[in-house]
Amino acid sequence: MPSYREFHQRSIEQPDEFWAEQARLIDWETPPRRICDNDRPPFTRWFGGGRTNLCHNAVDRHLAERGGQPALIHVSTETGREETLTFAQLHEQVQLSAAMLRGLGVGKGDRVLIYMPMVPEAVVAMLACARIGAIHSVVFGGFASGSLATRIEDAAPRVVVSADAGSRGGKVIAYKPLLDEAIRLSTFKPESVLLLDRGLAPVERVPGRDHDWGALAARHAGDTVACEWLDATDVSYTMYTSGTTGRPKGVQRDVGGYAVALAASMKHIFQGEAGQTFFCTSDIGWVVGHSYIVYGPLIAGMATILYEGLPVRPDAGIWWSLVEKYRVGVMFSAPTAIRVLKKHDAALMKRHDLSSLRALFLAGEPLDEPTARWISGELGVPVIDNYWQTETGWPILTIANGVEPRPSRLGSPGVPMYGWKVKLLDSISGEELDGPDQKGVLAIELPTPPGFMQTVWRDDERFVDTYWKTIPGRMVYSTFDWAIRDADGYYYILGRTDDVINVAGHRLGTREIEECICRHPAVAEVAVVGVADALKGQVAVAFAVPRDASAVADEASRLRLEGEIMKVVDERLGALARPARVRFVSLLPKTRSGKLLRRAIQAVCEGRDPGDLTTIEDPGALQQIRELLQP
């Protein structure tokens, strides 16, 4: 066995040989002829000439050996539904869904937008798209109509797959009205809506456009649909992520590179073994859920748990009861969820047999030391942080215990994974920072490894300008995160360099929230910043300048306007984007050139030194904020 250092070095120095070996972890209808094509940087292409299919690798290839083994385990504490689909049953359901989509005119290259709760039909729809070569785009269930409309407009889907409703904490969230309003707002109109009726909320169907899942399934019962063999470089899916402007970016992923990257990560990072159970507590609307609820575990031949519900309902032992019941070997969650569980009685964990659990992985936001110590002590298994992004598709920094066991370090997600040429760069000069404990921008050099985004959907120019032109004099991918590296090569993430905040693992663009708040007629100007929060990592806090000072003349009027603003955000972006507070000021701190000093506002909110304020136009603006924050 090589050391991890040798393993990583070979992936960087001999990428063709290294990734040709990893490519043998999946099935190919036609083997690739060219492993890495970096002829047109930064558009790295992988496994040229190869033909494969994500659905085949996730489902079909397991039928002979483990067709009767569990593949998809669905548990909903919201509805009481609990069922297990074997690989053979999943194969049957995916073919049925594929036939339904084909019946609605969907073919290779067409887009299908999936706006669903955490139900088996959502996973089945994803796999069905992959089976027939349609490009799927999963949008987090319950997103507000405004956010959903921008994604419909950009993706231009032939079909939208949705449901009558989702449920969270026992509260039903009707999806169909949100979807209808989103389609009304969008200039692009999908031809069809395929609707799953869970019986949670009344549904009004649009004649000729809306189709019932059950009725269509009955019509196509028994239909078989073969996998469409796709070029490795074909598009598999797009996923939207917030940017520093109000317009979300459609992260575009390929077929072959993504399949190989996930197969390799299940072996080298997560040490997933066929026949075991993987439990990722994310949502399929986020990249962690996309990669490690659906494709990663299934490609590895594992059973995967799809959970709908809260981590504390019916009590804070629910997740651990599932670990015991389904003999979970590997679990993947987020620091926010663990901080929530930490507030509850640890005896709820102790009452369950967790002997099957080999490791807990955490991602989505920085893992604080007290939380890491607590959960590690309670579980008695390795707790492994990892750092990555929607754009990267799989971890950049973590520990590859499947190659060589090594300890995690509190506060650090780990070391660079194979294939990632990670650098720390000076944000002004672009020079590489080699010494330990030097703060720089975390950047990735070309070629980017398999599984990394191909481009921004239908916008190559935005892909290049957003990610590859931010470091002076260098074409490198910027993660937009500050980091330091210790003497042993472990990295520590310090925070964002741009205006994206991380709320409980969900990336939100502050500009997007600002644009939404400014729609309220009483608001003249607003600044939104991310402020450190013990539970969620960060929360959004808004500072708004009213058009008329009399609108916030007393406490009652201020609270009323704050409520109205939050409602606007709820309706357009969803509850996730709602600011924790809206504070009213007469002016915002700006430079003399008119640039908002968001970093200074954030520092004041967190009780830190705002730094050099020689460029501020009116120091009284920050003083106003300080006074507002005094208890």
Contact 165, 173 (CB under 8 A): yes
Q: What is the pLDDT of residues 500-550, one digit of tens each?
A: 777 777 767 777 788 789 889 998 888 899 898 888 888 999 999 898 888
Going by C-alpha positions, the residue among 349, 427, 363 that lies closest to residue 393 is 363
Task: Read off the tokens for 166.
Answer: 């989702």
Which strand (E) or helix (H) includes residue 480? strand 477-485
Give the range among 77-81, 157-161, 197-201, 492-496 with minimum mean pLDDT.
492-496
| Predicted pLDDT at 245 | 56
Whether residue 499 is predicted with pLDDT greater than 90 in this model: the reply is no
Q: Give yes or no for a cis peptide into 447 (omega within 30° of 0).
A: yes
Q: DSSP readout, 235-271?
A: EEEEEEE--SSSSPEEEEEESHHHHHHHHHHHHHTS-
Identify the structural domains of the chain with CATH numbers, from first to last.
4-309+386-440 (3.40.50.12780), 441-496 (no CATH), 500-629 (3.30.300.30)
**Residue 220: pLDDT above 90?**
yes
Q: Taking the model in full, what pTM does it have?
A: 0.85
* Model confidence pLDDT, tens digit, residues 358-379: 999 999 877 877 788 899 999 9
CB atoms within 10 A of CB 629: 15
Buried-state track 380-395, b at ≥16 Cβ within 10 A, e below 16: ebbbbbbbbbbbbbbb
Give tens-digit pLDDT for 294-328.
999 999 999 999 999 999 999 999 999 999 999 99
Residue % of the chain over a pLDDT of 70:
97
Q: Which of 63-77, 193-207, 407-421, 494-508 has the lowest mean pLDDT?
A: 494-508
The H-or-E segment that residue 565 falls in is helix 555-572
